[in-house]
Amino acid sequence: MHTLEPYANWLKYYDPSFDERSPYFGKEYNYDLYQDAIYGYYIHPAWDPIGSETLYLKMLFTDYEQGYAAIELIGEWNDAIHNDIMLLKRNFLEVLMAESISRFILIGENLMNFHGSDDSYYEEWFEEVEDLNGWIAGVNFPEFIQDEQRRYHIDHYINMGGTLQVDHWRTLHPLRFCELINSLVTRRLGP
């Protein structure tokens, strides 16, 4: 797992450690020190913690004017034991929502597993962004993760699958990527 790095080619457009509104503002990265681990397997030091033992992320891009945040995830999303959605929402998402972010793009290619529980935090998050004309999109979630999230009705709150499997996302400028996901989600939600 230590070889799985968050996508770094957008750092020239956005770096959360230089963004005063980011939860990771001022963070200094030591790429020689591997100290965070998921189930005993070290992960690359570029990933950022949310307080979970099994789920980490990287803010790839944020546009406060448009309300976009593109976030790459790694690890096991475990609501059953660690209540990861609560940690994600309280320690990270609410900070962004306070800064006018209402359109969340979660990139899930590096999600290894999902263990569900109840959907109350998802419903709360969904209602809060919906009040701001926002949405939540799960891009490139593995099929087995989508199946498990559907079993717990998470798909009622996070748009995923189908056209949101965007294999070429790394070739796009980050704002163009956000606009693409916006158009795909808007088309799904209708007028």
Task: Tell me the pTM.
Answer: 0.96
CA distances from 36 to 21, 47, 147 (A): 24, 9, 28
As to burial, measured by CB atoms within 10 angstroms (0-12 exposed, 13-18 middle, 19+ buried), residue 92 is buried
pLDDT tier for residue 188 given thresholds of 50, 70 and 90: confident
Residue 86 has pLDDT above 90, yes or no: yes
Please check the confidence at residue 65 and state whether its pLDDT lies above 80: yes
Residue matched to tokens 């609560």: 86
pLDDT digit string, tens, across residues 152-163: 999 999 999 999
| pLDDT of the residue at 148 | 95
CB atoms within 10 A of CB 173: 11
Count the helices and strands in the chain (H runs, E runs): 5, 8
Q: What is the pLDDT of residue 191?
A: 61
Domain boundaries, the chain: 48-189
- Please say if the pLDDT value at position 2 is more than 80: no
- Kind of pairing between the strands at 159-160 and 48-49: unpaired
Which range (2-11, 47-56, 62-71, 104-113) has the least confidence? 2-11
> Residue 3's pLDDT is what?
80
Going by the DSSP 8-state scheme, the letter that residue 30 receives in this structure is -
The CATH superfamily of 48-189 is: STAS domain (3.30.750.24)
